[in-house]
Structures are given as structure tokens and as C-alpha cells.
């Protein structure tokens, strides 16, 4: 560079000084840039470099900020509909040891409107056995109310509870369609983890149709959970799982955890399943469940499927048929494999139990059954479970 400069100056002395100044200035700028780079690599930033980075970040994060605005809007919409619940519930273990049988349970709930009345949806284990006076519902504006007397319902088999409430200026959540939820959908969980009311967490739907979970209460027999990695902790029970349209698609119920805290595996009751039970509780005071009358083989495996001519253990294998039941009248037999019910593929025995239990009592259902290496169609008219299973 210096040699070239010397040659150029000898040819044009009149402008040589100007060129030298330009090159010297350029050299200084290069040195300054190098010095800045060294400073930045050591964690130092000049005010000018910092300003440039902020400007760059502004353009880079515009898309993400627009996405976060969606989350903010959903949180603003759903926040006023979520309540904190404290209940004086019965504790069977304490009673067995002659101690006070009451403990305080805490959880969450969400307010909906149904036929012009307001209801709180929550989990049965949050208010289990508590009287309306022993249930304290705290609204977003810190008002504390109780459920309407004699208007509290519970269903142990699904862990569903619903309470009618009356108060001015209530905000109601919209009920969405849980059938439309897909794995990978973004969702928000809202509730009171560890008593920290109106906490919002964000995640995705990790899986659907989770069944046969070993929950703390063995009474929860009917399961079809939505799995999510949105953080759910003790106190979130009964709170809503929300889609990006601000609609309730599930009621947060339980977690899978070794520590007792969130490990990214939470479960919510699909809102369709929840409302199926809640509607019956409100209208009838109890849940009428359909009954087919088959005992199913829980150990249905690949070897058993191959023996029957199936490529894999899909469907539900009939182990026994209850005499006089709809299954018996439809001439279902042991060793039949029920593949579909009303066109819906049957995944396993638990799935069939759910499908039957949430079918309408008295409805005639069509099943595709695999028998003697052939598919046949069998129709049965469902009865009421209580006629064959008197246990509450």
C-alpha cells in the first residue's frame, strides 16, 4: 500500500496530499473498527455500536412481538373468567385415624354461561364433599362468593365438578371445540399454582387421548386427557386450558411428576367430555351412562392379534359377555374384536369404555367386529349402566 501510494504521488504531486489524507483516514477508521471489534469480543460496547444493535434487534423481533401480542390478548380475555377456589373438603384418611376429617383444598376454576346462568367449572377433587358454605370462590376483582346452595354437582368417574354462582358483573369464558385440537397447537394454562392466582403459562398440545393414567384417586375411571407441556402445578387443578382464539378447550387436572412440581407433562380433560358430564349434572342431577355389557381383555397384545388374523392389536378384545345385556342381545361373543363404534376406530379397551360411556342411553350403535378372520357389522341398543352396575 505504501509503495503504491509513493508511485501515485510522484505522478500527480498536486493531489498527492489529499490522497495521503484519505488513506490515512481510512487506515485510522480500520484501526478504530478493529479496536471496536476487540472491545465487543471482550464484552464491551460503544454507545454507537449499542445503538446499532438495538436498531437491528427492533427489526429482527418485529414478528415475534406480533406473536406475543396474541398471547397478551388471550390472557386479557381469559383472566377475568378464572377464579381461585378454596374448599373445606373431607379427608377419609384423617377420619380413619380419628382425626378431624376436614382439610383445605385449593384450586382454580373458570366461569361460563349456560342457558342464561353462570357456572364455575372445576375438578371434583378440588371441592370433594365440601358444602356450599365451605367453598370460597375468589373472583378476579377479589370479591369472595359461595356457590348457590344445592347447586353443586360432582362426578367421581371423570373428576368433573360444576357449581352455579350468582354475582353482578361476571365475565364468562367461551367454550371451544376440543375435537379440533391438534398436537402442536399452542395453548395457555391459567390458574393458581401454589396459591399464586391468575398465573399464565404457555406451551403446546403434546399428545391427545391419554388414558389409563394411575391418578391419586382411583375413582377416576373415564379418562381421555389432552397432554400439554404448558407448566401446570398444584393449584392449577380446575383452571382452563385455552387455545389462541381465547376459548376453553380443556380443564387442567393433573400432572406426571417425580418431584411434585411441573416437569412438562400436564393433563387436561377435553372440554367436550367435561361439558357432556356437566350438562347432565345440571339438568338431571346425575350422569346417565350407557352400557354395552362386555368384559374386555386388558392384555390384548401382538401375539393374540396375530393368532386371530390381525396384523396388530387394534380394537378391543371381548373376554366375556354379560347375560341379558345389549351385547348379549346383539349376539356379541367372547373372542370378538370390536374395531369401530359408530364409525370411530377403537384404539384399545379403555377407548371403547369411553366411547360407550359417553354415548346416549337407548341409542342404537353400529360396530364393526372382527370374528373368525372376517369383519362383520353388529348393532346393539345401549342400556343404562345403573341397571347392571348399581354402585354409585
Q: Which residues does the annotation mark as catalytic?
A: 125, 159, 237
User: Do 290-387 and 179-273 have the same topology in CATH?
Assistant: no
Structural element, H or E, at residue 322: none
The CATH classification number of 179-273 equals: 2.40.10.10
**What is the pLDDT tens value at each position of the chain, 392 positions in all?**
433 333 233 334 444 333 332 333 444 445 445 445 445 555 678 999 999 999 999 889 888 888 889 999 999 999 999 999 999 986 655 444 455 556 678 999 999 999 999 999 999 999 998 999 999 999 999 999 999 999 999 999 999 999 999 999 999 999 999 999 999 999 999 998 888 888 999 999 999 999 878 776 557 888 899 999 999 988 899 999 999 999 999 999 988 877 666 677 899 999 999 999 999 999 999 999 999 999 999 899 999 999 999 999 999 999 999 999 999 999 999 999 999 999 999 999 999 999 999 899 999 999 999 999 999 999 999 999 877 765 54
Residues 250 and 204: their CA atoms lie apart, in Å, by: 13
Helix, strand, coil abundance in the chain, percent, nearest 5: 30, 30, 35
Q: How many CA atoms lie within 13 A of 69 on its CB side?
A: 6
Name the pTM for this structure.
Answer: 0.78
Residues 79 and 1: their CA atoms lie apart, in Å, by: 68
Structural element, H or E, at residue 374: strand 374-381
The CATH classification number of 290-387 equals: 2.30.42.10
Residues 305 and 256: their CA atoms lie apart, in Å, by: 31
Q: How is the chain split into domains, by residue range? A: 2-60, 179-273, 290-387
Amino acid at each position: 500500500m505504501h509503495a503504491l501510494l509513493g508511485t501515485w504521488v510522484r505522478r500527480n504531486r498536486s493531489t498527492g496530499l489529499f490522497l495521503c489524507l484519505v488513506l490515512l483516514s481510512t487506515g485510522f477508521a480500520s484501526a478504530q473498527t478493529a479496536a471496536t471489534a476487540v472491545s465487543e469480543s471482550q464484552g464491551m460496547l460503544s454507545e454507537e455500536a449499542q445503538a446499532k444493535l438495538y436498531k437491528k434487534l427492533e427489526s429482527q423481533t418485529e414478528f415475534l412481538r406480533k406473536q406475543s401480542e396474541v398471547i397478551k390478548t388471550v390472557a386479557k380475555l381469559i383472566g377475568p373468567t378464572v377464579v381461585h377456589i378454596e374448599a373445606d373438603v373431607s379427608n377419609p384418611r384423617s377420619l380413619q385415624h380419628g382425626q378431624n376429617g376436614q382439610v383445605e383444598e385449593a384450586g382454580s376454576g373458570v366461569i361460563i354461561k349456560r342457558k342464561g346462568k353462570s357456572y364455575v367449572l372445576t375438578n371434583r377433587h378440588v371441592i370433594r364433599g365440601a358444602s356450599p358454605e365451605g367453598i370460597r370462590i375468589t373472583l378476579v376483582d377479589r370479591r369472595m362468593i359461595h356457590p348457590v346452595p344445592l347447586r353443586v354437582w360432582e362426578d367421581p368417574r371423570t373428576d368433573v365438578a360444576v357449581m352455579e354462582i350468582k354475582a353482578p358483573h361476571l365475565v364468562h369464558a367461551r367454550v371451544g371445540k376440543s375435537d379440533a385440537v391438534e398436537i402442536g397447537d399452542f395453548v395457555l394454562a391459567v390458574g393458581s399454582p401454589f396459591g399464586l392466582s391468575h398465573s399464565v403459562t404457555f406451551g403446546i398440545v403434546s399428545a391427545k387421548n391419554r388414558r389409563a393414567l394411575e391418578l391419586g384417586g382411583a375413582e377416576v375411571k373415564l379418562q381421555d386427557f389432552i397432554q400439554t407441556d404448558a407448566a401446570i402445578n398444584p393449584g392449577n387443578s380446575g383452571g382452563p386450558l385455552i387455545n389462541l382464539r381465547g376459548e376453553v378447550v380443556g380443564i387442567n387436572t393433573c400432572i406426571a411428576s417425580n418431584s411434585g412440581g411441573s416437569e412438562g407433562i400436564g393433563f387436561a380433560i377435553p372440554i367436550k367430555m367435561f361439558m357432556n358430564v356437566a350438562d347432565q349434572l345440571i339438568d338431571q342431577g346425575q350422569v346417565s351412562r350407557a352400557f354395552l355389557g362386555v368384559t374386555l381383555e386388558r392384555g390384548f397384545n401382538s401375539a393374540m392379534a396375530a393368532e386371530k388374523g390381525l396384523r396388530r392389536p387394534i380394537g378391543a378384545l371381548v373376554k366375556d359377555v354379560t347375560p341379558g345385556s345389549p351385547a348379549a342381545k346383539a349376539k356379541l361373543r367372547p373372542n370378538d374384536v370390536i374395531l369401530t363404534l359408530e364409525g370411530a376406530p377403537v384404539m384399545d379397551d379403555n377407548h371403547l369404555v369411553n366411547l360407550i360411556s359417553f354415548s346416549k342411553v337407548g341409542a342404537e350403535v353400529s360396530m364393526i367386529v372382527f370374528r373368525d378372520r372376517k369383519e362383520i357389522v353388529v348393532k346393539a341398543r345401549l342400556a343404562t349402566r345403573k341397571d347392571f352396575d348399581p354402585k354409585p
